[in-house]
Structure 1
Amino acid sequence: MSNDVVELRVHGAASASAAQVLNVSQVEQVAGDRSGGFYRPRRRCSCRSGERVTEAYRWGDLPAGSVVRTLTLVFLLPFMLSNLAIWMRPANPGSDAMVRSLCRLLALTLTALYVLAFAGVALDLIAWKCMGPSRCLAGRTWLSWLGGQPVGLRLAVLAVVPAVAIGLLWRASTRPREMFDAFRAPADEVSRPPTPS
């Protein structure tokens, strides 16, 4: 086994502490934040198992966030999984470029699907079909101001909806990155695997 092998332990729904998952008394955080992070045994404790580095991922506080945070994670889940697919593939140098290209094509397809869904609802269903008959606008005062306008103006105004959806998706995706970038590991390099004794 090489020093590149990392055993990652993840707790279940019981939300165990990182020390319980690693079965040691002292741990230190090497990445993430207080809601979800990666932990390793402290260097001074003798808890190495051969040449394998053992880490714990603690996610117990992630579901305890606000409704906005939960919805953000739900909407970002397909994009997170498509980004993760690049790193979870079997190691094969011969097909590396092809697999990366397919994973990026999948991510681009998901993004296009997201944008087209918002564009289809805003432009086709609302601006084109719903604004014509007056029965569709009955009881919807938030749409009635646009009802008597020409079709081109309705389409132009409601074309803002897909742009706003892209902006909200971009903003939601940068917030977790900012939190992880703000984390600073302890002074000694804990992210490097310990050398075997």
Structure 2
Amino acid sequence: MIKHLMIALSITALTGLSPATGANQTNLSSEKLSLAQSRTKQTPKASLVSHTKARLGGISLSMTEAQVRRILGRPKSVRNENSPAVGKLRFLQYQDISVGLVEDVNKPNSFSVYRFSTKSRRYSTPDGIRVGDNRAKVIKAYGQVSPRSRDRKTYLSYQIDLQDIPAALIFEIEAGRVTEISCIEQLT
């Protein structure tokens, strides 16, 4: 137990990531987490994405679990995890979208969204961007940012105006097309 705690503290100190934003966030690569934390070079149009525009199919950061279920219905699966850094996490998996929630430390059993992602064309952002759209459409809607590349994928990360909490709307691009849309806030 102490060994695991020391490893978690070392990871936090070396990377700036809490254990909750690293190992416990399934379906999101460490690349996306670092994108949410980093301040990329952006054009004035892309300086910050409004919290209201960082939505996908009506789902947004900080939304309650009840609100998510009203919009998306009953999930295919629900998985709960305990994180030593942030407490309880809950993951709702739907047919075409996954949603991660964190428990409010002041309200037991009250969860709010801290991340969501899709690889489906079914959902779009308020600016009409969806999986399958080309990179130019993303840049036209959100502005030019310095892309990051890994393997054959490029990531366009747009910082979200979210009260000093690192958060980003991330478009994964492969062969010039959006293959995944994610939104994530760093848990502290």
For the aligned pair, the TM-score class normalised by the smaller chain equals: under 0.3
Structure that is richer in strand per residue = 2
Question: What TM-score do you get using the length of structure 2 for normalisation?
Answer: 0.23
Structure that is richer in helix per residue = 1
Q: Could you say which structure has the larger radius of gyration?
A: 1
Question: What TM-score do you get using the length of structure 1 for normalisation?
Answer: 0.22
